[in-house]
């Protein structure tokens, strides 16, 4: 048995109004999968013919069960497709390329890539319980959707490849966010190719770049990561390799955080935008915000995120053996989440480690200075705050311990998992929330976590030595 059930037409992307997404459920034998059908030419005539052909190709010569199509017959299925086509009829038509398909199996393989067809069918990695008809998302899919190299294929575009013989051309791209309090809606970016010689790519940071000049470590890394991803897509996905990559910003608004120097050449000269062969406007809101709150997904060791981290840390260098160091991430002087019993915490840490220090991160330190400051830390521990982002610079095998009180954050858990580090939470002070100060850290709970982190770091060094890899 093979059938198709149109679940719902989605709204058009805010970035790509000419692209329509349709969720469909297909059944072959005893297995059910959820796919996403993208229609790139949804004019009144082409939409009807494409969707009608799509349905007929799936259903032709197949045994259709009443549970597959609402109403239990082929006509009802075609009616759904026709209604869906009517819903798309007001969207502007763009050039259509037909999709040959002799049967359901060949259709599924022939529309796998939008580069080959104006219709693409993409398995969204969602596991479905066929007996209960319940969609159960794979726990790792959402993290993979944003933080592995395969995420480049997830970005939708309003056009196919660049035609270097017909310039200038602008490609608008978008990707759906994970959902949640700080990760809702769609991310957008644009790439414009002006000249075919591809000598200089300019990243335009002059407009509407949220958190671009923020001194908060987490906030400005969200912009750094989003910008880096945009450049990777231009270079790796579209082969727009240039001799220079220049990041142009408005110096009247402030000075970029020091980490930007690790990305490449910086400039305040807006004339470079007009002189560029390629201009990239990266996502305005950083992809890392999708990691911020616990949405029920699990991150994992990511080669892509570790490549980002390698911008700041030479992961092929060898560390000199030193005595184990426990590091407390300071928030002293901040208006919230300050530790009232810090002296007691540090005294306890010195019983667990040969050395223990309070680490004060400062926005005026370069990435290299921060790396040197924390390279001996076997454990980083502290109350929830942006200082935990500095784990990006830490040695492999490090354990990061976050005291969260009544907060439910996932920021640092997820980046630690992406970097293949160890991560633990402790309550710390169960009476405190995000805006509270004078936290009283539970010393017994903290000590147990520190001892476990110390032992984990020792095991890592025993297995891997002192290499950063």
Strongest mean pLDDT among 77-81, 205-209, 237-241: 237-241
| Residue 301 belongs to some domain of the structure | no
Q: What is the mean pLDDT of residues 294-315?
A: 82
| Residue 222 belongs to some domain of the structure | yes
* pLDDT over 90 at 454, yes or no: yes
**CA-based nearest residue to 198, from 159, 171, 235:** 235
Q: What is the mean pLDDT of residues 246-255?
A: 92
Q: What is the mean pLDDT of residues 115-128?
A: 29
Measure Cα distances from 371 to 38, 315, 392 in Å.
Answer: 45, 11, 9
Residue 173 in tokens: 């791209």
pTM exceeds cut of 0.85: no
* pLDDT over 50 at 48, yes or no: no
The reply to whether 321 and 345 lie within a common domain is yes
pLDDT in tens, 90-102: 333 322 222 233 2
In this prediction, residue 294 has a pLDDT band, given cuts at 50, 70 and 90, of: low
Q: Tell me what pLDDT residue 105 has.
A: 34
Q: What is the mean pLDDT of residues 320-324?
A: 73
Per the structure, the complete domain to which residue 59 belongs is given by 2-138
In the block, tokens 């726990």 appear at: 139
Total number of domains in the chain: 3
* pLDDT over 80 at 173, yes or no: yes
The reply to whether 362 and 231 lie within a common domain is no
Q: Contact 223/209 with Cβ under 8 angstroms? A: yes
The reply to whether 119 and 156 lie within a common domain is no
The reply to whether 333 and 281 lie within a common domain is no
User: pLDDT higher for 401 or 138?
Assistant: 401
* pLDDT over 60 at 167, yes or no: yes
| Residue 230 belongs to some domain of the structure | yes
Q: Tell me what pLDDT residue 340 has.
A: 95
**Considering the chain, what is the average pLDDT of its residues?**
73
pLDDT in tens, 378-426: 999 999 999 999 999 887 788 999 999 998 888 888 888 888 889 999 9
* pLDDT over 70 at 255, yes or no: yes
What phi, psi does 323 have (nearest 5°)?
A: -65, 145
Residue 286 in tokens: 């950083």
| Residue 429 belongs to some domain of the structure | yes
* pLDDT over 80 at 24, yes or no: no
* pLDDT over 70 at 39, yes or no: no
Q: Tell me what pLDDT residue 292 has.
A: 82
Q: What is the mean pLDDT of residues 366-377?
A: 87
Chain centroid to CA 116: 26
Sequential DSSP letters for 359-427:
E---TTS-HHHHHHHHTTEEEEEEESSGGGGGGGGSPTT-EEEEE-TT--B-HHHHHHHHTT-EEEEE-
The reply to whether 267 and 342 lie within a common domain is no
Q: Tell me what pLDDT residue 208 has.
A: 66
| Residue 296 belongs to some domain of the structure | no
The reply to whether 243 and 128 lie within a common domain is no
CATH of the domain at 332: 3.40.50.2000
CA–CA separation, 271 vs 276, rounded Å? Answer: 9
The reply to whether 285 and 324 lie within a common domain is no
Specify the range with the lowest mean pLDDT, choosing from 228-232, 290-294, 463-467. 463-467
**CA-based nearest residue to 409, from 328, 306, 288:** 288
| Residue 115 belongs to some domain of the structure | yes
Q: Contact 200/246 with Cβ under 8 angstroms? A: yes
| Residue 294 belongs to some domain of the structure | no
Sequential DSSP letters for 40-96:
S---HHHHHHHHHHHHHHHHTT----TTTSTTSSHHHHHHHHHHHHHHHTTSPP---
In this prediction, residue 271 has a pLDDT band, given cuts at 50, 70 and 90, of: very high
In the block, tokens 């959902």 appear at: 179
The reply to whether 384 and 456 lie within a common domain is yes
Q: What is the mean pLDDT of residues 25-49?
A: 42
Specify the range with the lowest mean pLDDT, choosing from 112-116, 255-259, 384-388. 112-116
* pLDDT over 80 at 312, yes or no: yes
Measure Cα distances from 458 to 117, 122, 321, 350, 455 in Å.
Answer: 53, 44, 11, 17, 5
**Residue finishing a domain among 289, 321, 345:** 289
Residue 64 in tokens: 């259709």
| Residue 244 belongs to some domain of the structure | yes
User: How much of the chain, in percent, has pLDDT values that exceed 70?
Assistant: 66
The reply to whether 112 and 196 lie within a common domain is no
The reply to whether 350 and 424 lie within a common domain is yes
User: pLDDT higher for 72 or 464?
Assistant: 464
Q: What is the mean pLDDT of residues 257-279?
A: 94
- Percentages of the chain per state (helix, strand, coil), in multiples of 5: 35, 25, 45
Q: Tell me what pLDDT residue 388 has.
A: 93
* pLDDT over 50 at 136, yes or no: no
The reply to whether 18 and 85 lie within a common domain is yes
Looking at residue 441, what DSSP letter applies? Answer: -
* pLDDT over 80 at 459, yes or no: yes
The reply to whether 12 and 122 lie within a common domain is yes
**Residue finishing a domain among 108, 138, 168:** 138
């Amino acid at each position: 048995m093979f059938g198709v059930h149109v679940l719902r037409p989605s709204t058009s992307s805010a970035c790509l109004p000419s692209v329509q997404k349709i969720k469909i459920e297909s059944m072959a034998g005893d297995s059910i999968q959820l796919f996403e059908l993208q229609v790139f030419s949804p004019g009144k005539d082409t939409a009807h013919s494409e969707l009608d052909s799509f349905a007929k190709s799936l259903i032709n010569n197949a045994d259709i069960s009443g549970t597959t199509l609402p109403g239990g017959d082929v006509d009802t299925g075609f009616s759904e497709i026709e209604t869906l086509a009517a819903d798309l009829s007001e969207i502007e038509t763009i050039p259509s390329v037909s999709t040959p398909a002799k049967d359901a199996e060949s259709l599924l393989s022939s529309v796998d890539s939008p580069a080959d067809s104006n219709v693409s069918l993409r398995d969204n990695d969602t596991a479905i319980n066929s007996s209960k008809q319940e969609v159960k998302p794979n726990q790792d899919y959402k993290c993979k959707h944003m933080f592995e190299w395969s995420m480049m294929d997830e970005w939708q575009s309003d056009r196919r490849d660049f035609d270097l013989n017909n310039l200038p051309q602008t490609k608008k791209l978008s990707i759906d966010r994970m959902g949640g309090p700080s990760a809702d809606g769609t991310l957008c970016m644009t790439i414009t190719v002006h000249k075919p010689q591809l000598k200089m790519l300019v990243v335009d940071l002059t407009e509407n770049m949220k958190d671009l000049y923020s001194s908060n470590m987490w906030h400005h890394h969200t912009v750094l990561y989003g910008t880096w991803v945009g450049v990777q897509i231009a270079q790796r996905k579209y082969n727009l390799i240039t001799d220079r990559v220049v990041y142009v910003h408005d110096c009247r608004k402030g000075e970029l955080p020091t980490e930007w120097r690790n990305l490449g050449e910086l400039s305040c000269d807006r004339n470079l935008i007009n002189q560029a062969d390629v201009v990239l406007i990266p996502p305005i809101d950083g992809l890392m915000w999708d990691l911020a709150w616990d949405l029920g997904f699990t991150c994992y060791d990511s080669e892509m995120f570790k490549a980002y981290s390698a911008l700041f840390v030479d992961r092929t260098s060898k560390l000199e053996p030193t005595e184990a160091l426990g590091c407390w991430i300071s928030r002293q002087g901040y208006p919230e989440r300050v530790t009232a019993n810090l002296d007691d915490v540090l005294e306890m840490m010195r019983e667990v480690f040969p050395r223990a220090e309070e680490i004060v991160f400062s926005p005026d330190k370069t990435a290299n200075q921060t790396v040197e400051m924390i390279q001996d830390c076997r454990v980083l521990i502290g109350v929830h705050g942006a200082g935990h982002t500095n784990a990006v610079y830490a040695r492999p095998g490090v354990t990061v311990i976050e005291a969260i009180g009544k907060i439910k954050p996932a920021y640092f858990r997820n980046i630690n998992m992406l970097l293949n580090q160890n991560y633990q939470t402790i309550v710390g002070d169960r009476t405190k929330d995000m805006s509270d100060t004078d936290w009283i850290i539970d010393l017994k709970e903290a000590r147990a976590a520190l001892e476990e982190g110390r032992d984990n770091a020792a095991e890592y060094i025993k297995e891997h030595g002192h290499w950063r890899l």
